[in-house]
Structure 1
Amino acid sequence: MKLAEALMNRADCQKRIEQLKVRLNRSAKVQEGEHPPEDPKDLFQEMNDTLQELESLMTAINRTNAQTVLHDGVTLADALTKRDILGIRRTMTQEVINAAAIKQDRYSRSEVKFIPMVQIAELQKQVDQYSKAYRELDTGIQEMNWKTELL
């Protein structure tokens, strides 16, 4: 199985677990004399089976990420960390731009005037650089996911 397939299976397991949680909660309590829509014992069994599958997938994915090396000598796990940090940098910088760029209408000279304390144009260039680096790194990661066999 390719790493990309394992990642899709992991996402499916996570969705099933969320659905099972809803179904279990719906079946956990009923009015006296009524029957639950589904047997909680069966749902718990399905939940345990799905969690076991998820655990196996996560272990194999983490092992594969730690041992797979990209073209530049960086492990896939390190590249994922770098991509996550680039995403955080991009988001935080964009939020600062959004906060500084808010224009407030003043109806008289006596109203408080707000001025940006950051250079919006410079920050936007940084956001663009972070976005480009993120896209390039993500493309390399996705390519490697489809080339790599799950360990």
Structure 2
Amino acid sequence: MKLAEGLLLRADLMKKIEHLQHRIRPVLIVSDDKKPQEDPDKILAQLRKTIQDLESLVIRINKTNNETSIDGEGTLMEALAKRDALKMLSERLRNIRYAAQVDNSGDANLKTTIDIKKLQSEIDQTGRAFREIDSKIQEKNWLTELKD
């Protein structure tokens, strides 16, 4: 299985766990004269099994991320951390730019305390770096076999 397929399976397992959690709620308590629509023990068994499957898969994904290199970026795990940091920086810089522009609208006595053009340039550069590293990660995900 490719790493990208493992990541998709991880998302599916997480959705299944959430679904099982929702399925069990209505059958936990019933009136004395009623029988639950589903057997809560069977749902619990499915939940336990799905969580065990998720645990095994996450271990394989993490092992693969730690042992797979990306040219110029270190390991896949390091590239993922860098991508997350770039995304966070980009979002925060956009929020700052927006706040500096919105808070100064309408009052002639107010001025921006930061260089908006310089900030925009950094936003553009950060976005470009994010897209470049994300492309490398996605490519590696589809080319790399998931480790056992």
Q: Normalization by structure 1: what TM-score?
A: 0.88
**Aligned-residue offset at 1:122:** 1.5
- The one-letter amino acid paired with 1:79 is A
Identity %: 39
- Unaligned 5+ runs, structure 2: none
The aligned counterpart of 1:99 is 99
Distance 2:31 2:106 in 1: 57
Looking at structure 1, the residues matched to 113 and 34 of structure 2 have their Cα atoms a distance apart, in angstroms, of 63
Corresponding residue of 2:121? 125
Distance (Å, rounded) in 1 between the aligned partners of 2:73 and 2:106: 53
- 1:60 aligned partner: 60
- SS at 1:33 equivalent: coil
Q: Deviations over 1:61-82 (max 9, x none)?
A: 0000000011226100000000
Per the TM alignment, residue 119 of structure 1 is displaced from its structure 2 partner at its CA by 1.9
SS in 1 for 2:74: coil
Q: Partner residue of 1:46?
A: 46
RMSD: 1.8
Indicate yes or no: 2:133 matched with 1:137. yes
Q: In structure 2, what is the Cα distance between the partners aligned to 1:33 and 1:68? A: 58
C-alpha contact (below 8 Å) 2:28/2:40 kept by paired residues: yes
Find the aligned partners of 1:100 and 1:41 in 2 and give their Cα distance: 56
* Deviation of the 1:30 alpha carbon: 3.3
Q: Where does structure 1 differ by over 6 angstroms across 4 or more consecutive aligned residues?
A: none
CA distance 1:82–1:73, shift in 2 (3 Å): closer
Which is worse superposed, 21-30 or 10-19?
21-30
Aligned with 2:69: secondary structure? coil
Aligned length: 146
In 2 relative to 1, CA 115–30 (structure 1 residues): closer, same or farther, beyond 3 Å?
Answer: farther
